[in-house]
Amino acid sequence: MKEVRNIVCIGLILIVLVGGTPAYRIRKPVDPVGFATRSWQLDSLMKRINRIQAQNLNEARDVNMVKKYTSWKFAVSPHDDYTYVGWLYPALLANVKAGTVILLGVAHKAKKFNVENKMVFDSYDYWQEPYGPVKVSGLREAIMNKLPKSTYIVNDSLQQTEHSVEAIIPFLQYYNQRVEIVSILIPAMSFGTMKMLSSALAGALDDLGEYNNMNLKIGRDYAIVSSSDAVHYGCEDWGGSDYAFYGCDSAGFKKAVDHEYEIMRGCLLGPVSENKIQEFTKYTVQDTNYRTYKWTWCGRYSVPFGMLTLLQLEKLQHSNPSSGQLMGYSTSISQKPIQVDDLKMGVTAKANIKHWVGYPAIGYK
């Protein structure tokens, strides 16, 4: 059935093209190595995760008392190679139940495009994904129409180069073939700018109360997912930088992971508050230069931006405050990678004690 849907969607697009109507604009994958681009790849990967890492999945759900019907309002998801992240993707994303997902991505190459201090949208109609094209929600235009023009730009070139959003969509599509998305990249910005822009986004979303004759609510009609790997650690192959804050050995690894849990416990877990969000920024961004890492979380802007948006939305919609639950944390060297080479997939970076990445998976309800 999944393959049939894929063929039907592509066929409809071809019919439109032949008929002379302006072509749909489709955002194509940028990373066909680390992520699945075909349905059979993701189907096989999920079977392996469920077989090999079932204990991790079951423990995550049991410890957090997360049921199948639990629906996250907001989530923090990793975006690294599927072989490394493995079970964390389904452990978290199976409970993103809303039909529309607003994805807050990292803007890894924003500096190259001279972009900062604004939200970055795209203008694509669909994103090419394993089970067929995923539709970009009409909420995107509705949101932009509500936002002050000074708060955002549309930049397809930056969106096309960015992998942090496309990592997540295949799993959303795996659980919901009709999911629609809105991609917003969050480049470098100060905490003050983050507060201003996230407040504008929350206000725009709240103003959409009568969109398509529905009273839209976060968690029910749409969810927000911030894309973020955790620390990038080590003393080799980081473009000449040394990120081995505690040393480049097993003792340093343990101290770094302990520091990761300190950040998550103090800033991201439990009830959401502005003080905790700002504390996360203090952990990850230099006090005197918001463009510079203090602790190398690539989601140092996307995570606090998403949490601030959530906090403001809940105030505007008079809903109960959310609380963060850690579905799991792992690193690229803490578990055996899932085999993917026979699935025509692979790795985009090495993983060893001198070069590794952390992965947070946190849900908010």
| Per-residue confidence (pLDDT) for residue 324, from 0 to 100 | 97
Tokens, residue 168: 């997540």
Model confidence pTM above 0.85: yes
The pLDDT of 214-240, averaged and rounded, is 93
pLDDT of residue 15: 43
CA dist 238 and 351 (Å) reads 12
- Among residues 220, 269, 215, the alpha carbon closest in space to that of 101 is found at 220
What residues does 64 pair with on adjacent strands?
none
The whole-number pLDDT of residue 96 equals 97
> Percent of the chain at pLDDT above 90?
84
**What pLDDT score was predicted for residue 18?**
45
With helix as H, strand as E and coil as C, how does the chain read? Answer: CHHHHHHHHHHHHHHHHHCCCCCCCEECCCCCCCCCCCHHHHHHHHHHHHHHCHHHHHHHHHHHCCCCCCCCCEEEECCCCHHHHCCHHHHHHCCCCCCEEEEEEECCCCCCCCCCCCEEECCCCEECCCCCCEEECCHHHHHHHHCCHHHEEECHHHHHHCCCCCCCHHHHHHHCCCCEEEEEEECCCCHHHHHHHHHHHHHHHHHCCCHHHCCCCECCCEEEEEECCCEEEECCCCCCCCCCCCCCCHHHHHHHHHHHHHHHHHHHCEECCHHHHHHHHHHHEECCEEEEECCCECCCCHHHHHHHHHHHHHHHCCCCCCEEEEEEEEECCCCCCCCCHHHCCCCCCCCECCEEEEEEEEEEC
Phi-psi region of 278 (alpha: psi -120 to 50; beta: other; left: phi over 0): alpha
In angstroms, the CA 207 to CA 194 distance is 20
What would the pLDDT profile of 133-181 be if each residue is shown by its tens digit? Answer: 999 999 999 999 999 999 999 999 999 999 999 999 999 999 999 999 9
Calculate what percentage of the chain has a pLDDT beyond 70.
92
* pLDDT of amino acid 225: 98
| Contact present, 191 and 278 (Cβ < 8 Å) | yes
pLDDT on residue 216 = 86
Q: Which residues contact 157 (CB under 8 A, 6 or more apart)?
A: 113
Mean pLDDT score of the chain: 92
Q: How far apart are CA 248 and CA 238, in angstroms?
A: 13
Give residues with Cβ within 8 angstroms of 22, minimum separation 6. Answer: none
Query: What is residue 22's predicted lDDT score, i.e. its pLDDT?
Result: 58
**Lowest-confidence pick of 6-15, 25-34, 82-91, 142-151:** 6-15
Residue of 215, 218, 201 whose CA lies nearest to 365? 218
Average pLDDT over residues 307-331: 94
Instruction: Please count the other Cβ atoms lying within 10 Å of the Cβ belonging to residue 347.
Output: 17
- Is 334 within 8 Å of 359 (Cβ atoms)? no
Query: Mean per-residue pLDDT for 58-85?
Result: 90
Answer yes or no: are the C-beta atoms of 54 and 318 closer than 8 Å: no
Gap between the Cα atoms of 315 and 323, Å rounded:
14
So what's the pLDDT on residue 208?
Answer: 83
Q: pLDDT band for 212, please (50, 70, 90 cuts).
A: low
- Two structure tokens written together for 277: 């969000």
| Res. 318 pLDDT band, cuts 50 70 90 | confident
The pLDDT value given to residue 209? 65
pLDDT tier at 359 (50, 70, 90 boundaries)?
very high
